[in-house]
Amino acid sequence: MKKYIDPFDSKTEEYARKFDQYYDEKNVNATKELINDIEQQLEDFDELSKARLGYSLGTAYSDIMLVEKYNEDIEKKSIYYYNYAINILEKTELREENKPYIYPVMMNAYVNYGNALENIGRISSSIEYYKKALKINKENKMALGNLSISYIEYAMLLYDHGHRDFFNKAAYDGLKKLFELSFSKEDLINKSAILKFEGYLKSFSEEYIQYLNTRKYDLEITEYEEEELKYRQWASKNNLFLNPLNDLYHDIRIAYDIIHLPNMFVEIGEKPIYHGMYNQFKEEYIYLRYLFYEATQSNRVTHYADRDNLLLELYDLPLYSIRLEKLKTVFRQLYSMFDKIAYFINSYYELGIPERKVSFKNIWNEKLTVKNKLNIEDNFMLKTLYWTSKEIYSNDSFSTNSLAEEIDVIRNHLEHKYVKIYFDGYEIDSIEKDDPLAKYIAEEKIENMTMYLMKLIREIIINLSLMVNIEENKKDKNVKTMKIKFDICRDEWKM
């Protein structure tokens, strides 16, 4: 009989039990004291134990918000620690003897992180993490129920009614499947959650259920050449199409970039400008997505442009290639898109922030605004963009992404110094100290960071459109405006 080994430090279980006890007792002070104690000694633990403690800290901060009044700083820390735990767990090579101990922590971290993201409006991201939990256990009831609710909430935000139906159908099917499963005492699901899921299931009328059952997403699939097919399959599998349906399906049926700005009101005599800028966001993103595909999925052979390029061997293990320069370009340009989107928001809301001070981090700063200020409680998707900005590192602002500072360092070196990429597994700590101009990073790590940025920019571009839709629907229809019909730019014109 195979022996399973618990890889976590025994103290991690002790701390988890204490947090549970304090929550049951509604003892917030004791919870805060224990949080402080763990945070001070966190770096003394091994990597896997740090992940276990990160999950406990994220849960503890969430528990505080259930007892005390809402506090944004507490929410940020809860999100940060779930993210911290997941980043460690996903980079760890799991051993078979450890999996029965690690998988439950990983699965619960995915579900709780998904819940935290859903609470701040980042619904498409919450969907991704619920699905990750279901990959570990397809009958995880909390993941299945919360995923279905996220589908419903996403559907409510979409202005394409056809897309709404497909999300609602997936939600109904998920909730129905949930209550077809048998429940046991081991299920980490409480009575209030069950009642919530029942309420959502009962909200579907018989007529709507019958209608949804007629809805099948079997569009005629385009016949692509082999290389284009591989590219589109890769992008759809990784949730990289600018199409909300890519959060639902991951195949060739949704392999197109359909999202755009909704109808907008323009005062008579004014020129519509925002659709043009949104066109550019999409085109730049799609270019970077393709470049990323080429950098990571193409054959690793010497490019003809690299031949006869005299480079010196410095024996510090860097990799040189056109392919890796593409990867660096994608990383750098994706990061630059944050501020471009901030310019859009600054103009659309007429904030009056001087151009040289506009950034995705500071457009939320009321001290910089001249004309108006952003009220994130007045537009759900604007609030989502606000929380997305917390993913980016800043010296004077807490980031919800545990890798944000390192990502910012990489971006800074790409812009102002240089980055050396090396094979995964090489030990380079001592070498790196000898070169203050260079930042060393493993190839797999910068690929993962670039994928993270790619998904974050996708989320922002889609949510920007949904934000504008909410805002336009609030405008006074009695004001003298005109509606402009745009022609579609044909594919054959994109040369």
pLDDT in tens, 24-35: 999 999 999 999
Q: Are residues 396 and 470 in the same domain?
A: yes
Q: Are residues 309 and 431 in the same domain?
A: yes
Section 80-89 average pLDDT:
97
Contact between 54 and 94 (Cβ < 8 Å): no
Q: Are residues 129 and 54 in the same domain?
A: yes
- Shortest CA distance to 201 belongs to which of 248, 143, 152, 166? 152
Query: Is 482 a residue whose pLDDT tops 60?
Result: no
Query: Is 283 a residue whose pLDDT tops 90?
Result: yes
Q: Are residues 57 and 186 in the same domain?
A: yes
- State percent of the chain over pLDDT 90: 72
350 assigned to some structural domain: yes
Confidence (pLDDT) at 3: 83
Confidence (pLDDT) at 485: 62
Give the tens place of pLDDT for each residue, 138-182: 999 999 999 999 999 999 999 999 999 999 999 999 999 999 988
Q: Are residues 292 and 399 in the same domain?
A: yes
Confidence (pLDDT) at 217: 77
Give the tens place of pLDDT for each residue, 385-394: 999 999 999 8
Q: Are residues 210 and 325 in the same domain?
A: no
Query: Is 438 a residue whose pLDDT tops 50?
Result: yes
Q: Which residue has the higher pLDDT, 372 or 21?
A: 21
In the chain, DSSP finds a helix count (H) and a strand count (E) of 17, 4
4 assigned to some structural domain: no
Query: Is 453 a residue whose pLDDT tops 80?
Result: yes
Query: Is 56 a residue whose pLDDT tops 90?
Result: yes
**Cα 157 from Cα 139, distance rounded (Å):** 28
Confidence (pLDDT) at 47: 94
CATH number, domain of 64, equals 1.25.40.10
Section 418-429 average pLDDT:
78
How many domains are there within the chain?
2
Single-letter amino acid code for the residue at 454: M
Q: Are residues 274 and 186 in the same domain?
A: no
Q: Tell me which of 157, 189, 214 is where a domain ends.
A: 214
The whole domain housing 421 covers: 259-493
Contact between 255 and 287 (Cβ < 8 Å): no
459 assigned to some structural domain: yes
Q: Are residues 207 and 325 in the same domain?
A: no
DSSP letter at 311 equals: -
What is the rounded average pLDDT for all residues in the chain? 91
Query: Is 187 a residue whose pLDDT tops 60?
Result: yes
Q: Tell me which of 214, 242, 270 is where a domain ends.
A: 214
Q: Tell me which of 178, 194, 214 is where a domain ends.
A: 214
Query: Is 1 a residue whose pLDDT tops 50?
Result: no
**Cα 246 from Cα 158, distance rounded (Å):** 13
Query: Is 38 a residue whose pLDDT tops 50?
Result: yes
- Shortest CA distance to 464 belongs to which of 363, 369, 351, 379? 379
